[in-house]
Amino acid sequence: MITEKTITDFIYREADLLDTMQWQAWLDLFHPEGRYWMPLEWQQQDPVLQPSLMYEDLLLMKVRIERLAGERTFSQKPKSRCHHLLQAPQILACDPAAGIFRAKTSYIYTETRGDALERFSGWASHDLVRVGDDLKIRLKRIDLVNFDAPFGNIQLFM
C-alpha cells in the first residue's frame, strides 16, 4: 500500500542517492519514459516549444552520468559534489486507485567543485507512478526561484 509516507521516503531517498553519487541507483528510480525537466519560465507549461534549461529522457541522463566518470571529462577534474537540503514534501496527490502520486518539495541545493560553491533555491515536483511494488519517477521538475538569472556551470542534478 502506497501512503503519503511512502512518497516522502521516496523523495528523501532520491536526494540522498544524488548526494552520495549513487548515480545508477538514482537512474533506476526513473520510469523508462521518465523525464527530468528544468524550465526556464515562470509556471512554464510546455517543455518542448518553450525554452528549458534541461528536458532529458533516460538516454540523455545516462550520457550525463557516464560523462561524469569519463577519463577525458576535464570539467570534472576535480569532481563536483552536491548537497540537497529539503523541506518536508507537500503531498499534492496520493491516490493508489487512480495511480496518481504527486509531491512538491522546497529545497536548497549546493554544488561545489574545487574552491567554488554555488547555492540554488527552488521547488522540486515529483510525478510518480507505481511499477510493481515500487514507485518510479515519471517526471521530476525543478523550478529554480531565479530561473532567469545567468548561472555558471550546473554539472550535477538538483
Q: Can you give the binding site for other proteins, defined by CB under 8 A?
A: 38, 40-41, 48-55, 59-60, 62-64, 66-67, 70, 72-75, 148-155
CA quadruple 59, 65, 71, 72: dihedral sign: positive
CB closer to other proteins, 63 vs 93: 63
Strands (E), 4-65: 30-39, 52-56
CB closer to other proteins, 55 vs 101: 55
Least distance to other proteins, CB of residue 79, Å: 13
> What is the rounded CA–CA span in Å between residue 129 and residue 101?
6
Least distance to other proteins, CB of residue 148, Å: 6
Instruction: Specify burial of residue 51 (Cβ count, 10 A radius: 0-12, 13-18, 19+).
Output: exposed
Looking at residue 132, its amino acid is G
> What is the rounded CA–CA span in Å between residue 78 and residue 83?
17
CB closer to other proteins, 2 vs 40: 40
Least distance to other proteins, CB of residue 74, Å: 5
Least distance to other proteins, CB of residue 13, Å: 24
CB closer to other proteins, 4 vs 46: 46
